[in-house]
Amino acid sequence: MSVLTRDEAQTRAQLLDVHRYTVDLDLTTGDETFESTSLIRFTARTAGSTFVELKPDALHSAALDGEPLDTAALDGNRLPLVLTEGEHTLSIAATMRYSRTGEGMHRFTDPTDGETYVYTQLFMEDVQRVFAAFDQPDLKAVFEIAVTAPEGWTVLSNGVTERGADGRWTAAPTALLSTYFVCVAAGPWHSVRTEHAGLPFGIHCRRSLAPHLDADADEILDVTKACFDRYHRKFDEPYPFDSYDQAFVPEFNPGAMENPGLVTFRDEFVFRSAVTDTERMTRAMVIAHEMAHMWFGDLVTLRWWDDIWLNESFAEYMGFQTVNEACSDRFADTWIDFGATRKSWGYEADQRPSTHPVAPDPDAVPDTASALLNFDGISYAKGASALRQLVAWMGEEDFLAGINIHFKRHKFGNATLADFIDNLAAATDRDVHGWAEQWLRTTGVDTLTPRVEGAGSQWRLTVDREGSRPHRVSAGVYDLDAAGAPVLRARHELDVPQAAPLDLTGPRPALVVLNEGDLTYAKMRFDGVSEETALRSLSRIPDALTRAVVWNALRDMVRDGELEPAAYLEAAAAHLPGETELAVVQGVLGFARGQIADRYVSAADRPAALAAIRGIARDLMRRTEDGDAPGLRLTAVRAYVDSATTPEKIASWFEDGTVHGGPELDPELRWRILARLAVLGATDEAAIAAELDRDPSATGQEGAARCRAALPTEEAKAAAWASMFDSDDLSNYLFTATAQGFWKPEQAELLHPYVARYYPAALALADRRGAAMAEAAGRWAFPADAVDADSLALGERHLAEDKATPALHRKLVDQLDDLRRALRVRG
């Protein structure tokens, strides 16, 4: 299949003005394929040649202005068109194939009740899997969608839908949309509907999840309404579409997709087991993130994919900020969670060879295949951090004024980075263009280190910077009280690089923390005295966001080889049992378990690292025995299970159906424990099958696949490998679950032969199954636990010699760099 280049898109945009699509889909023709017809009305500004895109199972007919076209002329995904100047109609009829990879029209049959659901995910190039289109973001048009669906199904789309005769549903014509925003979701949905601000609102899920959606419906709708109202206080342009539906769909690849009027979410956000408050806050943030896209992305859309940050960075920033403002009575400070768990995604991506600017040069995104690679921690977390720093630098009032200028000038159209910066500059006397060059056009992470000099009653604070960006930061200056707890003496606002050091009165402080409030994007370091104080007194720093900043600094020091992993674990053991902020606990335990224990310590030292994590979990469980902090206790139980090295205790929990002292085991905990028992060789196929009988849901199917792949036998590993790489039967989610169970540090000797087999198998899979499965193979099926020089050399050789698809190549570059870093940390 040919990818669309930027030059081709620009040429076609100069030639065409697309007005309207009339699309008719028939979902009643079988389990493998569906019928698609489309009528496109457009104008050619001059005579010329171009093409329309589609990826059919079979192309039945095509006609331009009523004259048949040669269907055999379809070349890959391109049907050539020769146009005269003026108005045209193009009609195309085709049979299209359902997907099992979350791309195009994905089809899913629920193992719980046998009901079937389909939904579209048409991002980047996947509209071509559903209907013919001039598929690029700057050729917006009106869409009229009609769907014929089986009896008993409900059809959702971007506009309000109505059911007619013979199962035919029609959706209200849309406003001007880019092709990748069209959405259809059809099946026997369970729906909860309401009205807000004069518009119909709805939330939808599979019938088997109905009790769980109903349990959380008030929370989901309350968050949705609160964010909706908050955006209307921020933005002058009203919500631009006729309804607001949110569908929680199965086997969805991203977290969510901002289809106008019909946002789709992965249905793990319909919680069927106990979750923590931070996980509920994450769901709220994703709701707010996608709603922000209704303005930034949907109302005003990027012209080409080099400006994807305009969509994602803005929505990421607004998601955290708006939940913080609109839902403060329900959730704690969202920026603590951003700093403790989300921001590291950006830091890690920005230190790999594959890093790129937040706003890359147009030449760096020459086609859609390269554009797809930029949906990463830089476009999301780093971009949001940059915007947060921009707001701190120019002020929120001017920032929002510039945003509203942008919406007014470009609504229902397309815009570029230059447009956005010009509109911000119109609202402030700050040099926004200079800021953009320094922040959005550069790569890498700056490092800020305080230098403290002086004695007696005078001292001097200087901030040393490694890097090139300007930063506005707050420096917290702390003394210690009689009990050794840090007490804030003062905060000083600093512009880095600053013209002169700060000369301050009073004794030398015990602790200086740069970037209090976490308003900039940079790695933080300590002076020698401050590092000792932080490691000794971290849990007693009074502000949770400051503690998150300190923990992030320690994490970065481990990753950069400046702090021993054992020292980080000692700090965690000393301070996590007294930590009150759940997001901090989850972030620290996640790094300790996922990076330190599995990758950053040697095999000989790993048991001690896991024992340290179990000790922290045990202390947290003792602290939460009274039931006052269920989220903290759940986090501790999960950490204990995941770090178990002997099966007795967790096996007794599994057998009893409860953790001693609570909680009762729900499906998530039962599968988690069984997966760990499988790794330890303390369960078998019969127990897995029995658990699947107990929980035959889609999540249960994934749990069983994960457990089976984790069994430490040659037969289990061979069967798991064959299901992943020798067959294309696994859906995207079942592939991921199998891969998650396959590689385990405890099974290094058993798995060693598969390390060399991975590269040719992954290359072949990526070629066969496309970008989504290539990404899954690179992310989840990579032998990340094989941390040794031979594994690195093997990977580097394959990377140099093999021609991988862009999606897989990018993942291999990142994985090998992480492996290289792990070896450095071990050294």
At 82, list the tokens. 């020769």
Distance CA 587, CA 282 (A): 13
Q: Give the torsion sign (CA, 707, 713, 715, 718).
A: positive
Distance CA 305, CA 506 (A): 53
Distance CA 114, CA 99 (A): 18
Distance CA 105, CA 109 (A): 13
Q: Bridge-partner residues for 466, per DSSP? A: 447
| Terminal Cα-to-Cα distance of the chain (whole angstroms) | 45
The CA distances from residue 479 to 522, 549, 551, in Å, are 25, 18, 19
At 58, list the tokens. 């079979």
At 159, list the tokens. 């506009």
Query: Which H or E run includes 763?
Result: helix 748-769
At 629, list the tokens. 């902090």
Which residue, chain included where needed, has tokens 């193992």?
111
Other C-beta atoms within 10 Å of 495: how many?
A: 12
Closest CA to 638 of 600, 607, 676, 683: 676
**How many DSSP H helices and E strands does the chain contain?**
27, 28
Q: Please, how many CA atoms are within 13 Å of residue 448, restricted to the half-sphere of its CB?
A: 29
Distance CA 554, CA 560 (A): 10
Distance CA 721, CA 579 (A): 41
List CB contacts of 34: < 8 A, sequence separation 6 or more. Answer: 25, 26, 27, 95, 96, 98, 105, 118
- Crossing angle of helices 582-591 and 606-623, in 10° steps, is 160
At 741, list the tokens. 């169970």
- Whether 290 is a known active-site residue: answer yes
Strand order in the sheet with 502-505: 502-505, 458-466, 447-455, 523-524
Distance CA 805, CA 812 (A): 11
Other C-beta atoms within 10 Å of 580: how many?
A: 12
Distance CA 35, CA 135 (A): 19
- Provide the CA 258 distance to its chain's centre, in angstroms: 13
- Crossing angle of helices 667-679 and 698-710, in 10° steps, is 10
Q: Where are the beta strands (DSSP E) in 409-535?
A: 413-415, 447-455, 458-466, 471-480, 486-496, 502-505, 511-513, 523-524
Cis peptide before 497 (omega within 30 of 0): yes
- Beta strand pairing call for 116-121 and 78-83: unpaired
3-state DSSP assignment of residue 224: helix
Q: Are 235 and 294 in contact (CB under 8 A)?
A: no
Closest CA to 709 of 732, 742, 673: 742
Q: Give the torsion sign (CA, 618, 623, 625, 628).
A: negative
Catalytic residue among 35, 290, 316, 668: 290
Other C-beta atoms within 10 Å of 499: how many?
A: 5
Q: Are 236 and 243 in contact (CB under 8 A)?
A: no
3-state DSSP assignment of residue 47: coil
At 259, list the tokens. 């289809």
Q: Which are the catalytic amino acids?
A: 290
